[in-house]
Structure formats: C-alpha cells, structure tokens
Amino acid sequence: MKEALKLFYFQFHTEQHYFLCHDILEEAWKENPHFNKNDAIVSLILFSTGCYHYRRGNLIGAKRSFIKALSVINAVNIKPDLGLDITTYKSLVQNMIDNVGQEQPFAPVHLPLNTAFEQQIIQQFPNYIVTPYVIDDDYIVHHHIKRDRSEVIAARKQALQQRKLHGFN
C-alpha cells in the first residue's frame, strides 16, 4: 500500500491526474483480502474522484464525492497510516465541500503530507512538486472519455457472447 500511496501523491500533486489516482488506490485497496468501504484509503479514493469532477465543472458529482470522503475518514476509529495529517486532511475535505457549494473555481489541492512521507516520495520521484496551477491537458482532465477502453469493450463483448452461448440474455 505504501508504494501505491507514493505513486498516488505524485500523480495527485505533480500531474493532477485525479482519475489515475483513483485507479491506483482502488487497485491497491482491493488487493487487501479484507477490504471494505469503510477503510480510510477509500476517503482518498473518493477525494481524488471529487477533484476530478470539480475540475471538470461537475459540482454535483464533486460535492457527493467530497461528502462521502469526509464521512469515511470521520468514521475511521484508528489513526490511519496514509502519510498525511488526518486532522488537517479532514479540514481540507470540508473546505472543498464548502468551495463547491459556493461554486468557487477549482484550484490545485495540496494534501497535508507528513514530512517524512513526502521525503520518501521525493526520493522515489525526484521531479515531485505540488503543481501550483491547474493542469488543463485534455487527456488528463477528461480521462474517462479519452482513455483507451479497447480492453474493457473486448471483455464486455466476450462476456456477452458467453452469456448468449449459455442461454443467458
């Protein structure tokens, strides 16, 4: 999980590739045989989803994601090891909910990483920075539309063929 978190924070801060951030952590989260929707990591997955929606102007989707992210992190009973200051993170999530509610323009988000973990990220990714401006690259901003989905489409087609072959429609 630690490696996934480092990659997540690099993509979140440097590349602002929020859709990829969601995928990185979701994949790592699901590798845990005891994963559930109340795990602290789910809050970061939802938070990155909220940022993705917010930058694209989907304020309803952003607000829903941020509210869920806050609900998940508030329900966590033990101090999660996410490499960040949880109290400050909770305040940040609430600020994002407020910003969306006030229809403020999206601005880059700086997650409150603890110094030791940030140093580990820098060691692994020497070009790590918190990008101070909003990245507007179409491929990143509209990734769910622009990405290559040929594998997903092929898998769905194959599953449909299998259902038809076995008499299921």
Beta partners for residue 84, in sequence order: 113
pLDDT tens, residue by residue, 104-141: 999 999 999 999 999 999 999 999 999 999 877 655 56
Global pTM?
A: 0.81
| Nearest partner of 8 among 111, 86, 95, 108, judged by Cα | 111
Residue 105 dihedral angles phi and psi, to the nearest 5° = -65, 150
Q: Is the pLDDT of residue 164 over 70?
A: no
Give the CATH number of domain 2-136: 1.10.3450.10
Q: Which uninterrupted H or E stretch holds 69?
A: helix 59-75
